[in-house]
Structure 1
Amino acid sequence: MLTLIKNVELFTPKKLGKRDVLFAGKTILAIEEDIEINSNLEFAIVDGQGFILAPGFVDSLVHFSGGGGEAGFASRTPQMNLTDATLYGITTVIGALGTDDVSRTHTDLVAKAKGLKQEGLNAFCHTGSYHLPIKTLGHSIRHDIMYIDEIIGVGEVAIADHRGTQPSVKELTTIAAEARTAGLLSGKRGTVSIHVGTGVEHLQLLHEVALSSEIPLSQFYPTHMNRNAELLTAGIAFCKAGGTIDFTTSTTEYDLANGELAAAEALAYCLDKGVNSQQLTMSSDGHASLPIYNEQNHLVGFEVGSESSLLGAFQQAVQQFNVPLDLALQSITSNPARILGLNKGEISVGRDADLVLLDANTLTPHSVWCNGQKMVESHKPLVSGFFS
């Protein structure tokens, strides 16, 4: 069916002003100042007055098959449901394993990605986890990236964290080289997602890989870069050397009171320091375990990440920290899509109709389309997951 959104404020994420947008099936057909339909075919017209039309959000780190729990087996986090994403404007998710790659497996991760795709979401994932040697679903990193459609990279590999296996320069270089080659051979990006802990070495290991090999810093995608001011400073230097960084929107009151910066604040701070907006992203870390450690690395609390935090951080960036709307949108749409090599995160003719209609005043999603299918209308799900 043809769908025409009329007189809407369009952000592609670049601001284009008032436009009409026409799509059918999963494809955007036209973007013009005024589109009229004269057809005996069935079509729907959506009044976009008072709304902003933006690309569907790309959440670059979600533990959608559930995460391991640092408080024992009972604390393993649950799986994500479809509406945990769609109700908050998210149309693309990238899953990963983290601390637990024993009771949580790649078999389940890829199966969950396929299930989310069956329900109507765009879903991808990484091979590997925090630990080395890298565990994979098939024979190797190359095999997984080349032959499994859903697998687009490696991660999240842990550095500067007491829960990781403390990788060497040589080990991380080998992983990045294998992922990069597999990406070249399969038309993927082969990005290496890096979990960065609170260790004082920060991103030094990534710089050493780039200095001692032909692997560029852009092959790595470090996340959790808003853990503290020192790490954020290291992240700014990483960007100025050619890398990109990601801020985690799920957090705890304890962590914020003990030095962590809100993702929106970190985004605004980096922009103020002159970092190119295309080098900055935000992700939810949804359904991850959020262990709270004191200075002695003793567990003192435990919470669970939420995909909804991505929307909250976007709203906070614009409404509280005065980040321009187009730059805030970039951080959760076109930027993560480009870094991961996905043909998502932008609105243009011929692209997939992954769209979110936002209330212009509150920036709350009113309607959400994924590949042209309407998933949410009037803040309520039209499509629910199999068990929700």
Structure 2
Amino acid sequence: MLTLIKNAQLFAPRNLGECDLLVADGRIALIERHIDIGGASLPLKVIDAKGKLLVPGYVDTLVHITGGGGEGGFNSRTPELTLAEAVGAGVTTLVGALGTDADTRSIEDLFGKTKALTEDGLSCYMYTGSYEVPVRTLTGNVRSDLIFLDPVIGVGEIAIADHRGSQPTVQELARIASDANVGGMISGKSGIVMIHVGAGREQLELLHQVHRDFELRLSLFYPTHINRSRALLEAGIEFARKGGSIDFTASTTEHILAMGELRASEALALALEAGVSENQITISSDAQGSLPHFDQAGRLDGLEIGRIGSLHEEWTRAVREHQVSFSTALATVTRNPAKVTGLHRKGEIAVGKDADFNLLEPDSLTIDSVMCRGRWLQHNGKRVAKTAFEHVEVEA
């Protein structure tokens, strides 16, 4: 089946104006002002998207797809991500991760969930490892996981500046980054090291120390939660000025905001104002991760769950409330995260890229339709993709 989308306002994320777009074999085959393949005897479905905005499918680089949490006991473990949640949020590409708990949650389970979400219609990848050092892997080491396992694109989230981490030394982190780097080189992947940054006063110093002592480039590291506080944001801005990329977390709570965290949308506006290149900033959801509240003594006093829908909410909030340009804000959840993680067929509307995109209503920016790899997952506001356990017939 070929799909021809006509008369949509295309954002690649750059504004391309009103265009037609032809999808063939799961990829974008043609983009023109007007495409007419009228008398040809082809299996063609034509969609008139007049008035709709066509944007790349969102790329979410930190999702706890098997659930997370557990800091408050076994009954505080968060649930797995569902296909419906991801599709409804416009996320077509996601990277799964473990977090604090790599004991009752396993890297094997993460691998299985990654494969399941891909079979259900999304493009799902994963990090090997967790907060913990030494890193737990599937094959026995980070390098081999990257080389031999297709879904594995990097390692993480390795925790620094956090009492829940393993307090890695500079030598330990350098070894992890070196193995990820070489594994990525051999396999043609990014080999990125996703870094969970806690509230500790050391902030990003460990990353700078690895860079100084071992001459490993800062761009190997991908620190997240940089909007945790204004002080950490300043440290993140300095990290970006020296060549690294920084990630803001979309999921938050009113309690956490009251304790000093910034919304991802506000942090984005402040980083841009400070001169950080728009190409070095991403936003991820941290979906299904726990959002714990700790008191001043470090004791847990509350817990909520990250939402994948926060990704859409925060980039659109950046446009509406913080006057960030539409294309710049959109790039933080599409093109930029795809480039940081080495997913080169994702995150942009261009010929040869995967046919992953969302159709948005122009005024409300609500998500009307979602396509991934040339297949509709949601169309005209209704989810049409289903899991193996949903037996209602749907028309894609």
Band the TM-score falls in, shorter-chain normalisation: over 0.9
Question: Using the alignment, how far apart are the partners of 2:236 and 2:356 within structure 1?
Answer: 30
1:194-343 maps to which residues of 2 (within 5 A)? 194-343=195-344
Equivalences for 1:36-55 in 2 at 5 Å? Answer: 36-38=36-38, 39-55=40-56
Per the TM alignment, residue 252 of structure 1 is displaced from its structure 2 partner at its CA by: 1.1
Instruction: Tell me whether 1:382 sits opposite 2:384 in the alignment.
Output: yes
Q: Which amino acid aligns with 1:289?
A: S
* Cα deviation code 1:31-88 (max 9, x no counterpart): 0111112222232222222111111000000000111311101111111111111111
| CA distance in structure 1 between the partners assigned to 2:341 and 2:216 by the alignment | 16
Partner of 1:363 in structure 2?
Answer: 365
Hey, what does 1:121 align to over in structure 2? Answer: 122
Which position in structure 2 is the counterpart of 1:96? 97
What is the CA deviation profile of residues 308-350 of structure 1, one whole-angstrom value per residue up to 9, with x for unaligned ones? 1111111111111111111111100110110000121111111
2:113 and 2:284 mapped to 1: Cα distance? 19
Give distance in 1, aligned partners of 2:215 and 2:274: 29
Residue 28 (structure 2) aligns with: 28
Does the 8 Å contact 1:83/1:385 carry over to 2? no
Shift of residue 387, structure 1, vs aligned partner:
4.1
Which consecutive unaligned segments of at least 5 residues does structure 2 have?
Answer: 391-396
TM-superposed deviation, 1:15: 1.2
Moved more, 83-92 or 38-47: 38-47
Task: Write the letter of the residue equivalent to 1:61.
Answer: L
State the Cα distance separating 1:105 from its structure 2 match.
0.4
Q: 2:8 is matched with which residue?
A: 8
Farther off after superposition, 172-181 or 22-31: 22-31
More displaced stretch, 32-41 vs 245-254? 32-41
Residues 76-101 of structure 1 show CA distances to partners (whole Å, capped at 9, x for unaligned) of 11111111111111000100110000
Structure 1 residues 296 and 387: CA distance shift in structure 2, 3 A: farther
* Equivalent position amino acid for 1:223 in 2: T
C-alpha separation in 2, matches of 1:89 and 1:354 = 10
Q: Distance in 2 between matches of 1:329 and 1:25?
A: 26
Paired with 1:107 and 1:333, the residues of 2 have a C-alpha distance of: 28
> SS state of the match for residue 108, structure 2?
helix
Tell me: CA distance 1:387–1:230, structure 2 relative to 1, closer, same or farther (3 Å). farther
Q: Say if 1:387 and 1:263 are closer, same or farther in 2 by CA, change over 3 A.
A: farther
Quick one: distance in 1 between partners of 2:321 and 2:296? 30
Structure 2 CA distance for aligned equivalents of residues 331 and 294 of structure 1: 32
In the aligned structure 1, how far is the partner of 2:389 from the partner of 2:73? 26
Contact kept? 1:10, 1:53, Cα under 8 Å = yes
Decide whether the 8 Å contact of 1:131 with 1:164 is kept in 2: yes
Cα deviation digits, residues 266-309 of structure 1 (max 9, x gap): 01111111110000000000001111112221111000111011
> 1: CA distance between counterparts of 2:296 and 2:361?
42
Displacement of 1:265 in angstroms is 0.6
After the TM superposition, which of the residue ranges 35-44 and 56-65 deviates more from structure 2?
35-44
Deviation of 1:137 (Å): 1.1
SS at match of 1:266: helix
Pairing of 1:157-168 with structure 2 (within 5 A)? 157-168=158-169
Q: Deviations over 1:217-257 (max 9, x none)?
A: 00000000100000000000000010010000111110101
**What is the rounded CA distance, in whole Å, between the counterparts of 1:94 and 1:211 in structure 2?**
29
CA contact (8 A) 1:154 1:190 kept: yes
Q: Partner residue of 1:175?
A: 176
- Normalised by the length of structure 2, the TM-score is 0.96
Q: CA separation in 1, counterparts of 2:314 and 2:147? A: 34
CA distance in 2, matches of 1:37, 1:117: 32
SS in 2 for 1:285: coil
Which residue of 1 is the match for residue 77 of structure 2? 76
- Which residue of the partner structure matches residue 394 of structure 2? none
Runs in 1 of length 4+ with deviation above 6 angstroms? none
Distance in structure 1 (CA, Å) of the matches to 2:302 and 2:188 = 42
1:356 Cα offset (Å): 0.6
Separation in 1, partners of 2:289, 2:69 = 8
State the AA in 1 paired with 2:238.
A
Quick check: 1:11–1:53 contact (8 Å CA) kept in 2? yes
% identical equivalent positions: 49
Q: What RMSD over aligned residues (CA atoms) do the two structures have, in Å?
A: 0.9
Equivalents in 1 of 2:296, 2:210: separation in Å?
Answer: 29
Q: Is the 8 A contact 1:68 1:104 kept in 2?
A: no
Q: Secondary structure at the match of 1:320?
A: helix
Q: 2:147 is aligned with what amino acid?
A: M
Which residue is equivalent to 1:57? 58
Q: Secondary structure at the match of 2:22?
A: strand
Aligned residue pair count: 388
Give, as a single letter, the amino acid of the residue that structure 1 aligns with 2:185: L
Amino acid at match of 1:306: R
